[in-house]
A and B are shown apart, each in its own frame.
Chain A
Amino acid sequence: MIQLFNVTKSYGKENVALREMTVHIEKGEFAYVTGPSGAGKTTFLSMLYGASKPTRGQILINGINITRMASRQIPYLRRKIGVVFQDYKLLNSRTVYENVAFALEAQGKKRYEVSKKVYKALKEVGLEHRLQRRPIELSGGEQQRIAIARALVVEPLILLADEPSGNLDQEVTLEIMELFKRANARGTTVLLATHDHSLYKRFPKRVLGLEDGRLIMDHQP
């Protein structure tokens, strides 16, 4: 599903974010990407959804080399990938429903199809009763659940989560992890960047350890 071959990403001559990284992640796999701040976790994920390109090396997603992809093809790649961020990236001027519908509308889906899928996705994360509320009126955990619903509503092949529990307490984190596990059980490949050791001890999965831009650990439980 995801294949990286000798991928290096540098910003200028001095600042190397990722060094010679080679890794394969199978379809339907669940993997943690761990490491201290500045280890290269966010850079790694951002290259997978086409937000940045590697300086050297190749990245294949579902057999397609995305390093050679024209910028006009990137939106089509992103339609297969759901992304969840630590800061949720929600629009506070829109309702919960509109935030989730945004992902489907961007793909040109029909109105009736949008409403059906959005309701289903919000029910999945337990927020179907909050449709008309604005994200700012809700708790951090609820906001992250909206972001997850937006990522999952398009039924992505891959779900990327960059420190999704960074701003949340332990109890909410466990709820969020349950959502990721359920998505994974349905066949979505999940890649979760975190520096929270307790998370992968509690939910043991494959761990990719990064440090100073290098892959220093690839551990299967």
Chain B
Amino acid sequence: MLENIRYFIRRALRNMRQWPVLCSAAILTMAVALATMATFFLVVINIQGLANNWSKEVQVVAYFQSPPPRNQLSPLIRQVEALPDVQQAIFISKAEAFKRFETRLGEDAGFLDGVSRDLLPASLEITLKAGSHTQEGVGRIVAELKKDSRFDDLRFGQEWLERFENFVDLLKFIGLILGSFFLFAALFIVSNTIKLTLYTRRDELEIMALVGATKRFIQIPFLLEGALQGLAGGLLSLGFLIVSFKLLLQKGLQTFWLTPVGFNPVFLDGNQQITLVLCGVLLGTLGSLVSLRKFVRL
């Protein structure tokens, strides 16, 4: 058994050494296919990250008909903050609202001269807990607040939130379609490259069958070779991805981000990097298997 395993590894390595051009072609094809898929995946996870970053700014503003007396304010804030989706509730008085408006107008603040400082309504600015930045989360808070007659009006960017969630869904859908397309394209290209390598070695396959090698004995070194090429392709694509992320993608993504506040483009985490390399191994093995079925006939 151990002798056989050693023999299979020896033969796989010897085959790779004997056909360096074909071997490099298979490795490069897999590296390009995997790098394309991984780059796309990287862009998708970063856009999703950005989308999540944007969604953190989603908040509910509840305007008071008339500001509650001081002794009722603290219990009201505690009551709102007790809601499961609420992170924090901050009271904005009429004076503070006016001051913010003035600041926002900047040089044009002069327009407000002579305007009563209690023109703007007092409000509660409610920030949401992580995971509640969705239509459902906002909906639950709004439903609760509507029961309280002290609130006159509720603003929560419903339309924006809907569009945003649709955009994220669309992004995921495109990701799924393109990801599947890339996966099949990669499998097709890889299996054809391996088919080509096997075609040039059909004499070897024929002779092996002729001298009494079993199907498994013929196939295992080729599968091993496919797996090793896939491993090399996976590592190469990871290296390429690291370099291109540092040199190009990171800058490109940072330029693209419209709201860079607190957001840095992310790279694949450890598990994702291992998955990428394993995808290479799987791709190489499957590609070999698909091609071998055609060539190894006893």
- Tell me whether A110 is interfacial, beta carbon within 8 Å: yes
A102/B211 in contact, CB under 8 A = yes
Q: Report Cα–Cα, A85/B38, bound state, in Å.
A: 50
Q: How far is the CB of B112 from chain A (nearest CB, A)?
A: 88
Q: How far is the CB of A35 from chain B (nearest CB, A)?
A: 23
Known contacts A72-B215, A76-B212, A79-B212; decide if A91 and B3 are in contact (CB<8 Å): no
Report the contact-size class of chain A (Cβ under 8 Å from the partner). Answer: 20 to 34
Q: How far is the CB of B19 from chain A (nearest CB, A)?
A: 8
Set B203, B204, B206, B211: member contacting A78, Cβ < 8 A = B211
B7/A103 in contact, CB under 8 A = no
B298/A74 in contact, CB under 8 A = yes
Q: How far is the CB of A168 from chain B (nearest CB, A)?
A: 20
- Tell me whether B209 is interfacial, beta carbon within 8 Å: yes
A105/B7 in contact, CB under 8 A = yes
Report the contact-size class of chain B (Cβ under 8 Å from the partner). Answer: 10 to 19
Q: What is the 8 Å Cβ interface bit string for chain B, positions 191-218, against chain A (1 contact, 0 not)?
A: 0000000000001101111111111010
A75/B3 in contact, CB under 8 A = no
Known contacts A74-B298, A93-B18; decide if A106 and B211 are in contact (CB<8 Å): yes
- Tell me whether A71 is interfacial, beta carbon within 8 Å: yes
Name the residue of chain B whose CB is nearest to the CB of A78.
Answer: B212
Question: What A residues does B217 contact at CB under 8 A?
Answer: 75, 106, 108
Set B4, B18, B211, B298: member contacting A150, Cβ < 8 A = B211
Name the residue of chain B whose CB is nearest to the CB of A151.
Answer: B211
Name the residue of chain B whose CB is nearest to the CB of A111.
Answer: B3
Q: What is the 8 Å Cβ interface bit string for chain B, positions 206-242, against chain A (1 contact, 0 not)?
A: 1111111111010000000000000000000000000
Question: What B residues does A111 contact at CB under 8 A?
Answer: 3, 7
- Tell me whether A181 is interfacial, beta carbon within 8 Å: no
The listed residue with most A CB atoms (<10 A of its CB), out of B3, B4, B212, B215, is B212
Q: Report Cα–Cα, A106/B215, bound state, in Å.
A: 10
B213/A75 in contact, CB under 8 A = yes
B4/A108 in contact, CB under 8 A = yes
B206/A89 in contact, CB under 8 A = yes
B207/A89 in contact, CB under 8 A = yes
Question: What A residues does B215 contact at CB under 8 A?
Answer: 72, 75
Q: What is the 8 Å Cβ interface bit string for chain B, positions 1-40, against chain A (1 contact, 0 not)?
A: 0011001000000000010000000000000000000000
B298/A103 in contact, CB under 8 A = no
Q: How far is the CB of A22 from chain B (nearest CB, A)?
A: 27
Q: How far is the CB of A132 from chain B (nearest CB, A)?
A: 15
The listed residue with most B CB atoms (<10 A of its CB), out of A74, A75, A91, A102, is A75
B212/A107 in contact, CB under 8 A = yes
Q: Which parts of B168-182 form the interface with A (CB within 8 Å)?
A: none
B4/A103 in contact, CB under 8 A = no
Q: Report Cα–Cα, A105/B220, bound state, in Å.
A: 13
Question: What A residues does B209 contact at CB under 8 A?
Answer: 75, 78
Q: Report Cα–Cα, A111/B11, bound state, in Å.
A: 13
Q: Report Cα–Cα, A75/B3, bound state, in Å.
A: 20
Question: What A residues does B18 contact at CB under 8 A?
Answer: 93
Name the residue of chain A whose CB is nearest to the CB of B214.
Answer: A75
Q: Report Cα–Cα, A111/B2, bound state, in Å.
A: 12
Name the residue of chain B whose CB is nearest to the CB of A156.
Answer: B212
Q: How far is the CB of B87 from chain A (nearest CB, A)?
A: 66
- Tell me whether A83 is interfacial, beta carbon within 8 Å: yes
Question: What A residues does B203 contact at CB under 8 A?
Answer: 89, 91
A106/B212 in contact, CB under 8 A = yes
Q: Report Cα–Cα, A164/B210, bound state, in Å.
A: 16
B3/A102 in contact, CB under 8 A = no
Name the residue of chain A whose CB is nearest to the CB of B215.
Answer: A72
Set A72, A76, A78, A93: member contacting B210, Cβ < 8 A = A78
Show 25 A/B contacts (Cβ-Cβ < 8 Å), sorted by A: A50-B298, A71-B298, A72-B298, A75-B212, A75-B213, A75-B215, A75-B217, A78-B210, A78-B211, A78-B212, A79-B212, A89-B203, A89-B207, A91-B203, A91-B207, A102-B207, A103-B211, A103-B212, A105-B7, A106-B211, A107-B211, A108-B217, A110-B3, A111-B3, A111-B7
10 additional contacts, CB 8 Å, given A72-B298, A91-B207, A107-B211? A71-B298, A74-B298, A76-B212, A78-B209, A79-B212, A89-B207, A89-B210, A102-B207, A106-B211, A110-B3
Task: Pick the 6 closest A-B CB pairs, nearest first.
Answer: A106-B213, A79-B212, A78-B212, A103-B211, A75-B214, A75-B212
